[in-house]
A and B are shown apart, each in its own frame.
Chain A
Amino acid sequence: MFEFKLPSLGADMDEGKLLEWHVKPGDKVKKGQVVAVVDTSKAAVDVEIWQDGTVFELLVEPGTRLPVGSVMATLLEDGESAPARKPVTLQGARKGEARRKAPPPEVAAEAVGVRQAAELAPPGRPRVSPAARKRADELGRDIARIAGSGPGGVVTLADVERAVVVPTAAAAAATPAAAATRQAEMRRTIAAAMSRSKREIPHYYLFETIPLARASEWLAGVNADRPITERILMAALLLKAVAITLKGFPALNGFYRNERFEPADAVHAGVAISLRGGGLVAPALHDVDSKTLPVLMHELSDLVRRTRAGSLRSSEMSDPTITVTNLGEQGVEAVMGVIYPPQVALVGFGRVASRPVVDEVSGELRVLPAVTASLAADHRVSDGHRGALFLGALRELLQHPEDF
């Protein structure tokens, strides 16, 4: 038996609301399968399961808001047989007991099991410190929605102070009022993450103008043979170039947590995608360095479409190892990015435009397409020297697009 818990779908997520289950008890599930849809303050996210098994019991009703780490379901491992008796469920315990008639004497053994289950996860009244309860009252916060960090999961004063008021919104933000609430929540989430970034991360910034004549020509050649809908955009090429270059610069790819750097093995690039109503999400494209350009392009379009439709997968939300932002469409020259914690770097691209460039071989002044790439990086993890080498390597790589 193992537990399926609500994963953190981003560093800024404290809780989520279950919108629907895609599975039911008895269903076999495979690692990576979407089993539930959870509403974070940013999007409705398809949550995947990380272990094969058979659903034993669903513990949370759709519509329930719950803290990150809450057990949502229990599953049987492959080959494991179901226990003879269904355990009392978390959310259903009190209802179930109320409905049950006086138990016949022979279920004494069952009562013991019930007590054990209750000890593991006490149902009903949450454990809240008196000071936390009083403070929640003063602030008008619903204590039941605050995740506890004290011993045994007790909700403490600090948890209440930390908790953001989250008004109950209709699941899919159907009404304009709900959409406005949702907008406000997203703004608050972004505010929290970006404030933390600027408070905690000592950023340094570097810029490099990268000639794209070769890359543009090469891309035009590739696209000449492709139908319009399958054309590869410069954005995908830039993304892949960043990912490949990053393999040589591990100090820019990973997480800074608990006062130390944890490099990431894979490059999952968070792609900053602006939403139509305002706001921003940066879900991950996985293993960008090892995917072919057509695959990458397809996934990028798919990701943008799904992000704007509010349908993302949990792994996309939780594990980008670096963020890449491309503001060229908006016409800016260059980007000075704010790192998304706990990541340690952000690569930004401005507009691809024709610029006067001195040809390094002939020394002649020529007009060529170029882009200004920027790096915002965490000085706790890397130094400007490494950052400069990274941008230099990125520039060189983009002069040889046929190599990747």
Chain B
Amino acid sequence: MKVSYREALREALREALAQDPRVFLMGEDVGRYGGTYAVSKGLLDEFGPDRIRDTPLSELGFVGAGVGAALGGMRPIVEVMTINFSLLALDQIVNSAALLRHMSGGQCAVPLVIRMVTGAGRQLAAQHSHSLENWYAHIPGIRVLAPATVADARGMLAPALADPDPVIIFEHAQLYNLEDALPVERVWRACDISRAAVRRTGTQASLITYGGCLPKAMQAADELAATGIDVEVIDLRVLRPLDLDTIAASVRRTHRVVVVDEGWKTGSLAGEIVARIAEDCLYDLDAPPRRVCSAEVPIPYARHMEAAALPQVAQIVAAVKEMLNV
């Protein structure tokens, strides 16, 4: 049976709330409205207002409350409506959540999970459409996850809650309606939050991507396969700490890399990956690494301009073909 990414997230929340009384969900419109992207729909009725808490429009305030609750022994799940708004909570995340274990000499832990919506493609204009995952992946002290499949949407929350340190889960806005068959429970229960996944094996190039760009990379791989070009697709899954072993192993197999990242090239995660490959795998490279990233503009509102600004399948296909000189 097929399950949507949204339903998989909801099931994971429901299970966590049912199993652990310390777990609660809070954020803007998560309760009565059912969540801006309808992830928490029905949970207020099921678990009540103490555990499904609507908050004022103050990211600094409610993310800070989440940090405090975590310090106090709770297992809070905080939803931030969009990554653009999370900048208001940067101080709580970067200066408090990420640092308290370090600054308290290990006395304090912040077992906080923050769910954030990221990415463009839904015509929500520049203030709701950016991909700033790399800002958080830059920070030591937090783990950053990017579930890109239904199985990861279902499986990542439990290990994130079990992590004694802060974990940020990025849900790409374009993925909520993605439907796929959920693998058997044994498989998604085994979900780890430390390794990248090879989503497709191939021999001629590695497409390295994460989150909302994974479906595009997979489609590009299909189109390339139709022209006889066999590429591998790596889903990073974990943006911090990066699973460099999986990346390096793939590069050693294929010798060519295209990183697909919805962030902007400048100072991007794609740049970090290419740098690591250059440091660790230079002599395995048969071509300069390429990046397919968003255009260096605020994401436009107009549909055609938004599409033109984002990484698209045709660009991925073209990058691989140029690399192979075909």
Residues of A participating in the B interface, judged by any CB pair closer than 8 Å: 129-134, 149-151, 154, 156-158
B39 in the interface, Cβ–Cβ < 8 Å?
Answer: no
Contact, CB under 8 Å: B325 / A150: yes
Contact, CB under 8 Å: B287 / A151: yes
Contact, CB under 8 Å: B322 / A131: no
Q: Which of B282, B322, B323, B325 contacts A130 (CB 8 A)?
A: B282
Contact, CB under 8 Å: B323 / A157: no
Contact, CB under 8 Å: B325 / A129: no
**Nearest 7 A-B pairs (CB), nearest first?**
A131-B286, A134-B283, A129-B286, A157-B286, A151-B325, A130-B283, A131-B255
Closest chain A residue to B322 by CB distance? A151
Q: Can you spell out 21 A-B residue pairs with CB atoms less than 8 angstroms apart?
A: A129-B255, A129-B286, A130-B283, A131-B255, A131-B283, A131-B285, A131-B286, A132-B286, A133-B283, A134-B283, A134-B284, A149-B325, A150-B286, A150-B287, A151-B287, A151-B322, A151-B323, A154-B287, A156-B286, A156-B287, A157-B286
**Shortest CB–CB separation between residue A39 and chain B, in angstroms?**
29
Residues of A within 8 Å of B284, CB to CB, are 130-131, 134
**When chains A and B are docked, how far (Å) is the Cα of A131 from the Cα of B286?**
5
Residues of B within 8 Å of A158, CB to CB, are 286
| Known A129-B287, A150-B287, A151-B287; further 5 A-B contacts with Cβ < 8 A | A130-B284, A131-B285, A132-B286, A133-B283, A134-B283
**Shortest CB–CB separation between residue A177 and chain B, in angstroms?**
35
**When chains A and B are docked, how far (Å) is the Cα of A149 from the Cα of B323?**
11
Within 8 A of A (CB), among B274-300: 282-287
Residues of A within 8 Å of B283, CB to CB, are 130-131, 133-134
Residues of A within 8 Å of B323, CB to CB, are 151
Closest chain B residue to A131 by CB distance? B286
Most buried by A among B282, B286, B287, B322: B286
**When chains A and B are docked, how far (Å) is the Cα of A295 from the Cα of B195?**
76
**When chains A and B are docked, how far (Å) is the Cα of A221 from the Cα of B323?**
66
Residues of B within 8 Å of A134, CB to CB, are 283-284
**Shortest CB–CB separation between residue A259 and chain B, in angstroms?**
11
Contact with A along B309-326 (1 / 0, CB 8 A): 000000000000011010
**When chains A and B are docked, how far (Å) is the Cα of A158 from the Cα of B254?**
12
**Shortest CB–CB separation between residue A299 and chain B, in angstroms?**
41
Residues of B within 8 Å of A156, CB to CB, are 286-287
**When chains A and B are docked, how far (Å) is the Cα of A261 from the Cα of B218?**
35
Contact, CB under 8 Å: B255 / A157: yes
**Shortest CB–CB separation between residue A132 and chain B, in angstroms?**
6
**When chains A and B are docked, how far (Å) is the Cα of A296 from the Cα of B287?**
52
Closest chain A residue to B251 by CB distance? A131
Closest chain B residue to A159 by CB distance? B286
**When chains A and B are docked, how far (Å) is the Cα of A154 from the Cα of B288?**
11
Residues of B within 8 Å of A150, CB to CB, are 286-287, 325
Residues of A within 8 Å of B285, CB to CB, are 129-131
**When chains A and B are docked, how far (Å) is the Cα of A150 from the Cα of B286?**
9
Residues of B within 8 Å of A151, CB to CB, are 287, 322-323, 325
Residues of B within 8 Å of A154, CB to CB, are 287
Residues of A within 8 Å of B255, CB to CB, are 129, 131, 157
**Shortest CB–CB separation between residue B324 and chain A, in angstroms?**
8
**When chains A and B are docked, how far (Å) is the Cα of A154 from the Cα of B44?**
61
**When chains A and B are docked, how far (Å) is the Cα of A273 from the Cα of B10?**
79
Within 8 A of A (CB), among B235-290: 255, 282-287
**When chains A and B are docked, how far (Å) is the Cα of A150 from the Cα of B322?**
9
**When chains A and B are docked, how far (Å) is the Cα of A151 from the Cα of B319?**
12
Closest chain B residue to A149 by CB distance? B325
Closest chain A residue to B255 by CB distance? A131
**When chains A and B are docked, how far (Å) is the Cα of A154 from the Cα of B325?**
10
Most buried by A among B287, B322, B323: B287
**Shortest CB–CB separation between residue A152 and chain B, in angstroms?**
9
**When chains A and B are docked, how far (Å) is the Cα of A274 from the Cα of B177?**
71
**When chains A and B are docked, how far (Å) is the Cα of A154 from the Cα of B322?**
12
Residues of A within 8 Å of B322, CB to CB, are 151
**When chains A and B are docked, how far (Å) is the Cα of A151 from the Cα of B324?**
7
Residues of A within 8 Å of B287, CB to CB, are 129, 150-151, 154, 156
Residues of B within 8 Å of A131, CB to CB, are 255, 283-286
**When chains A and B are docked, how far (Å) is the Cα of A157 from the Cα of B253?**
12
**Shortest CB–CB separation between residue B59 and chain A, in angstroms?**
45
**When chains A and B are docked, how far (Å) is the Cα of A105 from the Cα of B206?**
50
**When chains A and B are docked, how far (Å) is the Cα of A131 from the Cα of B323?**
14
**Shortest CB–CB separation between residue A333 and chain B, in angstroms?**
44
Closest chain B residue to A160 by CB distance? B286
Residues of A within 8 Å of B286, CB to CB, are 129-132, 150, 156-158
